Amino acid sequence: MEEWKEYRISDICTGIYEGPHATPKESQTGAIYLGIPAISEDGHIDFKSAKRIAEEDLPLWTKRVTPQKDDIVFTNEATLNLYALIPEGFHGCLGRRLGLVRPNKDIVNAKFLFYYFFSPEWRNTISQNKVYGATVERILMTKFPSFPVRLPNKTVQDKIVDILSSFDDKIEVNKRLNDNFTVKLLVKLFIKWVLYTLINDNLLNQSNALFKSFFIDFEPFRDGEFTETDMGVIPKGWQVVSLISIARYLNGLAMQNFRPEGNDKGLPVLKIKELGQGMSDSSSDRCSSDIDKQYIVNDGDVVFSWSGTLLVDLWCGGQCGLNQHLFKVSSKDYPKWFYYMWTKQHLNNFIQIAKDKAVTMGHIKRGHLEEAKVLVPTKSAMNTMTAIMQPIIDEIIDSRIESRRLSQLRDALLPRLMSGELKVDSLTDV
């Protein structure tokens, strides 16, 4: 095992700073004012959520410190244990309830220290040293410099950073690929008709544009014959059916009645929270693993929450038990991309129906699925669409699953690497 040495934060940093205790006037443009909402739990800065201040006000708010590349910002009040590395080119100031450390790069790799802040060892230090103010938890910045940190030598730090960074990089690549799959599809199939969709960088917008080309504008079929229906003029040979006729919408169980018993570790319960975040976590309820198999959700299943927060997504968070208020959507007769896209097509209307009928928690009924109409193309047109669409859906699912597994592997390695239990030399081939 590599030798690890204990330091204090003040021993390994050239500067420790606290953000201002006031909030500047917000501006529509200008420099970044970095606050808690802009720091994600996984250590990224969400610049879309960051507020801005006028350029002329920036000097006033950088009197204490001007954030630089590889500085680490952290929350010291309210929501503790959020951390982020300042990226190259950052232009802005530190906000309220934030602190900042400037690592001494002769002693510590800045990214290693950033990863260390996510380790159980450091989290335990924060837990032992937090105090309770009038309304929120906080860390005393007068004591923070003395908090202990254990480090291996610089060479070992660099190796650990290389290993963990490789997982982060792969996860980020998968996220970007996931956003671009539909763009590739559009280029292949509809470059003559839907080039305008290439400006979209959002998967939902891109999918909607593709769907619109097929089923709303009928752009690939304009040279063919059309016929009049209740849904207007559609290509000849196509049918108008109800949404509920193309797929089975299976409602989940009241999982509080199906708790694990004995030695059964059970399954995570898939609720609206899990669907929204794309995964289960340690706070997720668990249900018996012996529930009827039809209520078990697997990677790639289409899930639709029909009550409260209405969502439709491809679940890629691992095997779960389907809770009530969510549908598992499936079909024996139609491909996944077809019923997934059509359910998404009607989502906004369902949201409005639920909102209009809401007393305590808005929802839709099966009758609304019956009223929602779907266009079914001819068999040859469906086969052509499926040959392009389904591989893209499959690839999106695969990349999400891979990202989840990489995240789990990274999280499993992190505490062992940070404790010195795992020798980095055994992982150099990862």
Q: Where in the chain is the domain with CATH 3.90.220.20?
A: 5-151, 175-378
Give the pLDDT of residue 104.
94
Give the pLDDT of residue 167.
66
Assigned fold of 175-378: Adenine-n6-DNA-methyltransferase TaqI; Chain A, domain 2 (3.90.220)
CATH architecture, range 5-151:
Alpha-Beta Complex (3.90)
Give the pLDDT of residue 1.
42
Give the pLDDT of residue 193.
28
Give the pLDDT of residue 198.
29
Radius of gyration in angstroms for the set of CA atoms belonging to the chain, rounded to a whole number = 26
Give the pLDDT of residue 26.
85
| Phi, psi (degrees; rounded to nearest 5) at 200 | -80, 135
pTM assigned to the model:
0.60
- What are the residue ranges in the chain where pLDDT is below 70? 1-2, 134, 167-209, 358-361, 410, 413-414, 416-430
Q: Report the 3 state secondary structure along 102-158.
A: EECCCCCCHHHHHHHCCCHHHHHHHHHHCEECCCCEECCCCCHHHCEEEECCHHHHH
Give the pLDDT of residue 165.
74
- In sequence order, which residues have a C-beta less than 8 Å from that of residue 206 and are 6 or more positions away? 182, 183, 186, 197, 200
Query: What pairing do the DSSP bridges indicate for beta strands 326-330 and 302-305?
Result: antiparallel
Residues 342-351: tens digit of each pLDDT: 999 999 999 9
Measured N-to-C along each axis, helices 379-419 and 336-345 cross at an angle, to the nearest 10 degrees, of: 90
Tokens at residue 213, please?
Answer: 């080309």
Yes or no: say if 375 and 238 are a contact pair by the CB < 8 Å rule. Answer: yes
Give the pLDDT of residue 172.
64
Give the pLDDT of residue 338.
95
